[in-house]
Amino acid sequence: MESIKKIPPDKIYNELENVLKFYSFKNSTLLSNFLRYIVTETIDERQQFIKEYSIAVNALSRPSHFNPHDDAMVRIHAGRLRKLLSEYYSSDGKDNSVIINVPKGGYVPEFIHNNKMRHTDLPVSTSKTSPLITVFPFKTMAHRPDLEAFSQILSEEISAELSRFQDISVIGHFSPGAISKINENILEAANLIGADFIITGHIQIVDNKLHIRISLISSSSGKFISTKVFTPTTIDDGIRIQNEIVKDIVSTMGGYYGTIFKEMVKTSPSKISNNSSILKAICSYHEYQCSYSIENYATALSNLTEAVELDPNHSIAWAMLGEMHLASIALGLDNCKKTIEKSSHCITKALNIDPNCQQAWYAQALLHCFRKDQDNCLYAAEQCIKMNSNSSGIASGIGCILIFAGYFEKGFNLLENATHMNPAHPWWISVGYCYYYIHKKEYQKSLYWAEKMDFNETIWDPLLKAVSLSLLSEETAAKVHLNNLIELQPLIATEIKEILSSFMFSEEIVFRIINSLKRIGLKDDF
């Protein structure tokens, strides 16, 4: 490899040791082992053996039956590794003579002379676009080896599962000196490592029952943002209890619908508006997803367009922009035939930048839904969920997409699980529920979800209420909502059919919806 010939192995080894002294690497044995393995293999000219399987087994302590097709762990940790290298070379290592870089799309590192690199070549981010979370060891109030082991595994699993979210950076391993500082003052310890939020807790026995308390704390103010208490009767079935707790904590705290992101948006508005075009775009995307209005949609579209111009290598922003283009069709705002190809361009860019971007696979599933490609829609959906099943907002969206694509029960089960994990979800989830219950001919349940929407600037609010009431033979009430629909956006039957058919696979259900509207007065033409 040419870069090895230019830089002597001893200098590369020295740089590796420099990197591994960085606090983020010292706090992550897993990522340190990952980096040491791929660097050593490359120096020994064995880079052809650096594959997902070999990394998992030789560096990440995975068993020999590890299957990279079923487990995205290596790809997820590779993303974390690149983030830590970026942090190091934008801070402690910015003046080092050698730079270790792991290009996206592979695992073989590059070794580069720093003085020959242009600033734009450096894999660094000049602004912070994601919160840093530290998971401190949980305390046990009873000196029992089984409780202490359970506590350690629980905190490690929460750290590992939170690290699957691309919008969160996590520190979960600490040196003995750091643990001593944590025991003295958790706020000072968190501020020393630059953490925005702390997850900590304790395990004790109260009235012969386990009492597990897990809290999310703001490191800047010390405010308790959320606290959850779990009271299993025993830890005899420790793995099951641990999995249930981890799923509950991670699904409610992580992702754009989780407590961490919501708190960051609430407490740092100036940071969002002034410091980062990416963060500003992501927050406006989230606001649109939580509360629909024409203004929210337009703001999100504008901010995402600006963000990819200023930072063209941000895969999540490209994926979100691709999704927003498709949304314009479903919202009845755009019927241009080129919109799907415009969206495809954005999503392809996202996947080329980062093939393991969950948001991009989410957008890809939606794209295949609009292209009426059922098989590839399912494949993209499964790839997306495999990357992080605890991302409740994305999981609920994928559930709806699968329902629209005709995978009714698979999509419904995914949607139900996601909304039970975390009640916060995109506003348009109601469309998925209504479509499913219209398919099942359970029109009272369809009306329930239509009434939950309550966003009067979108055609879907009056449309779904009118359809559900019409199918329940409540024609007088249905006509009120049909009139609201026509006042909002004067649509005829063929135009509504075109919107529905743009992403809903079942012609029979679309026909039933259109007929229910015609029955209460919708015209075929003006």
- CA dihedral (272, 278, 284, 288) in degrees, to 10, reads -150
Query: At 401, which amino acid appears?
Result: I
Lowest mean pLDDT among 36-50, 260-274, 411-425: 260-274
Residue 270 pLDDT > 60, yes or no?
no
- Cα 317 to Cα 475: distance, rounded to the nearest angstrom: 44
Contact in structure between 196 and 189 (CB atoms under 8 Å):
no
- Determine the straight-line distance between the first and last CA of the chain, rounded to whole angstroms: 70
> Any alpha helices (H) in 311-457, and if so which ranges?
315-330, 339-353, 358-370, 374-387, 392-404, 408-421, 429-439, 443-453
Mean pLDDT across the chain: 86
Query: At 245, which amino acid appears?
Result: I
* Per-residue confidence (pLDDT) for residue 525, from 0 to 100: 63
Which element (helix H / strand E) includes 31? helix 29-43
Residue 193 pLDDT > 90, yes or no?
no
pLDDT classification of 238: cutoffs 50, 70, 90: low
Residue 237 pLDDT > 90, yes or no?
no
pLDDT tens readout for residues 150-170? 888 888 889 888 888 877 888
Closest CA to 346 of 369, 373, 314, 372: 314
SS3 of 279, please?
helix
Contact in structure between 418 and 392 (CB atoms under 8 Å):
yes
Residue 203 pLDDT > 60, yes or no?
yes
Contact in structure between 154 and 246 (CB atoms under 8 Å):
yes
* Per-residue confidence (pLDDT) for residue 29, from 0 to 100: 80
- Cα 163 to Cα 65: distance, rounded to the nearest angstrom: 23
Share of the chain above pLDDT 70, in %: 92
pLDDT tens readout for residues 73-123? 788 788 888 888 888 887 788 888 889 999 877 899 988 887 543 333 323
* Per-residue confidence (pLDDT) for residue 145, from 0 to 100: 81
